[in-house]
Amino acid sequence: MKEPRWVPEQAVIAIHDKLILEHGGCSGLRDPNLLSSSLARPKHLFYYIDSASLFDIAAAYAFSLAKNHPFVDGNKRIALAVIDVFLRLNRYELVAVEEEAVTKINDLV
C-alpha cells in the first residue's frame, strides 16, 4: 500500500473547534502531547505493521483520539470526524448509520 494522506494536526484542531461550535461543549486542547501521540499512532501502524490496511489506520485514529482524550471536550466526536476526513482524503467514504457509528465510538472508551 502506498503512503496514505494523513490528517494534519492543525486540521484536527480546526475540525474540533467547528464541532464544539455546532454541537456545544468546552473548547480547547487539554494536552498537546496527547494530540501529537494520537496522530502518531496511525503513522506507526502504517510504517511498522505490514498488514495494516487503510481501515486499520482509520480505526487507530479513532481509538487513539477517543482514548488519549487530548481535548477538553468532544474527543469521541473528533474521533469519528477524523475517521471520515482520513477516509475521504484517501478516496473512501464513511457510510454508516449515525446511531451505529456513535455506539461504536462510545464503545471505545
pLDDT the model gives residue 8: 98
pLDDT the model gives residue 35: 99
75 lies in some domain = yes
CATH number for the domain that contains residue 31: 1.20.120.1870
Instruction: Report the predicted TM-score, pTM, of the whole model to 2 decimal places.
Output: 0.92
pLDDT the model gives residue 98: 81
Contact 66, 109 (CB under 8 A): yes
The number of beta carbons lying within 10 Å of the beta carbon of residue 27 is: 15
What's the number of domains the chain is made of?
1
21 lies in some domain = yes
pLDDT in tens, the chain (109 residues): 899 999 999 999 999 999 999 999 999 999 999 999 999 999 999 999 999 999 999 999 999 999 999 999 999 999 999 999 999 999 999 988 888 887 888 887 7
1 lies in some domain = no
2 lies in some domain = no
Q: Where are the alpha helices (DSSP H) in the chain?
A: 9-23, 32-48, 54-68, 75-89, 98-108
64 lies in some domain = yes
For residue 69, give its domain range.
Answer: 9-108
Contact 107, 53 (CB under 8 A): no
4 lies in some domain = no
